[in-house]
Amino acid sequence: MNASRSTRTKIRTKSPLRKRKRTPKKIVPAIARVLVFAVVAVVGIWVFNKAMRPLKLIKTEQRDKDRIVSQYNALHEENERLRRQLTGIKTRSGIVQAARKQGFVKPGEISLVIPEQQPANPN
């Protein structure tokens, strides 16, 4: 039985022409898969960016809101400080003190100006 089987089988020879035909058949699906993957990846990244845009805008708006609230609080504190200073200046002693800071003197007083000392040169 073994001998009859060997006579029936044909020996296939691999011709170079046939080998060339098989190679493109293997390469074309691989290239197609790579191209499909690349297209899917690009579309996926585009969709992801479109989906993330509202979240980026929300984050930017929150950052801007925090910055504006911080500026508002700083201005509010400065406004309160200036109001307290204004109420102090409205009193008689506050007026006198503010006038003296500006260099005013009462009639009969002598104005003395003491220049600020400049640091000595180390050279």
Is there a contact between 111 and 105 (Cβ–Cβ < 8 Å)? yes
pLDDT band, residue 7 (cuts 50/70/90): low
Structure tokens at 26: 């293997």
Q: Which helix (H) or strand (E) holds 59?
A: helix 16-89
The yes-or-no verdict on residue 61 having pLDDT over 90 is yes
* Residue spans per domain, the chain: 21-100
Written as one letter, the residue type at 78 is E
Is there a contact between 88 and 94 (Cβ–Cβ < 8 Å)? yes
The yes-or-no verdict on residue 111 having pLDDT over 90 is no
State what percent of residues in the chain have pLDDT above 90.
46
The yes-or-no verdict on residue 115 having pLDDT over 60 is yes
Angular region, 31: left φ>0, alpha ψ -120 to 50, beta rest: alpha
pLDDT value at residue 16? 54
User: Distance between CA 53 and CA 45 in Å, rounded?
Assistant: 12
